[in-house]
Amino acid sequence: MAIISIRNLVVEYDARRVLDGLNLDIEPGETMVLLGGSGSGKSTLLRQILGLERAHSGSVLVKGIDITRCSQLELRLVRRSIGVAFQSAALFNSLSVKDNVALALREHTALAPSIIDLMVWMNLAAVGLADFGHLHPQELSGGMKKRAAVARALALDPEILVFDEPSAGLDPIVAAELDELILLLKKAFQMTVVVVTHELPSAFRIADRIAMLHNGSFLAVGTKEEIRSNQHPRIRQFLDRVPDKMGKASEVAASFEKYLRGEEANP
């Protein structure tokens, strides 16, 4: 049975459809990459999976519970089994890295402080930040912040790990390290991983399956090979990195020249 299943999900902002009747099943233990261009609705979909925003219609089932309709208490229970690393890391700035990771452990479990310290250290070591626990988030670099966010997401040993843009804004080496980290975590903890990204190499490195999102609906959902061999023009354009409307650049240049020559630009 799918651990996350999305049924006919519709999300609207001010009567503008951002997600248009999505259906998707994510199986336990798989890595699902949500791939799509900027503004295609990836983050919006993720916020729906986390129950952070209200949907217009449709349902999102996480571990069999419909989080668009369940009570606050059930939602809180579901959320304990989800670890999230946000696009902006979203570490708590008033706490040190160590305390960021320890927060959920301290408050949601009855573990002894010494055990919590040990678990925090192990989580930080897993992401390569064992020596930086005492620092505050503003003292970390962007890549370290993202890794700290992963450590925090791992704290409660979640069944589902969610990443929003793990590699955005990082140099290729750090981005690749983060990909390896995701693969490693998955192998070690058998988690279900949901990753949102628009970076192709990263997507094809970590994915079991890929869902291509465009203008709020899925163009294709399938394994890496299926996506790679898909002939849908929009997917080809995305994979081959072809810009929108090839002719446009020369048109702009022409009208600009006209303008320089003093003639009326006529778009």
Partner 1 sequence: MATLIENVGQKTLNHLDYVGGFSIQLWAVLRAMGASLPFVGNPYRWKASVGQMLQIGVSALPMVGLMAMCSGFILAMQGASELRRFGAMHYVIDLVAVGFTREMGPLLTAIAVSGRSGSAFAAEIGTMSVTEEIDALRVMAFEPVEFVLAPKYLAALIMVPCLTIASNVCGILAGGIFMFFTTHLSLGLYLHYVLTSIQLRDVISGLIKSLAFATIIVHVGCLEGFRVHGGPDAVGRSTTSAVVKSTFLVIVADVIFTAIFYYFTGKH
Ligand X SMILES: Nc1ncnc2c1ncn2[C@@H]1O[C@H](COP(=O)(O)OP(=O)(O)OP(=O)(O)O)[C@@H](O)[C@H]1O
- The candidate with the shortest Cα–Cα distance to 65, out of 5, 11, 20, is 5
Of these partners, partner 1, ligand X, Mg ion, none, which one is at the site of residue 44 (CB under 5 to 8 Å by kind)?
ligand X
- Which residues, 6+ apart, have CB-to-CB distance to 163 below 8 Å? 84, 85, 150, 182, 193, 194, 195, 196, 197
Nearer to partner 1 (CB atom), residue 86 or residue 218:
86
Would you count residue 80 as binding partner 1 (CB under 8 A)? yes
Of these partners, ligand X, Mg ion, partner 1, none, which one is at the site of residue 36 (CB under 5 to 8 Å by kind)?
ligand X
Of these partners, Mg ion, partner 1, ligand X, none, which one is at the site of residue 184 (CB under 5 to 8 Å by kind)?
none
Would you count residue 230 as binding Mg ion (CB under 5 A)? no
Count helices and strands (H / E) in the chain.
10, 10
**Bridge-partner residues for 20, per DSSP?**
10
DSSP per residue over 60-128, as a string?
EEETTEETTTS-HHHHHHHHHTEEEEBTTB---TTS-HHHHHHHHHHHH----HHHHHHHHHHHHHHTT
Would you count residue 43 as binding Mg ion (CB under 5 A)? yes
Stretch of 37-45, 78-86, 134-142, 175-183 lying at the interface with ligand X (CB under 6 A)? 37-45
Name the minimum Å distance from CB 177 to Mg ion: 21
Nearer to partner 1 (CB atom), residue 103 or residue 200:
103
Nearer to partner 1 (CB atom), residue 46 or residue 181:
46
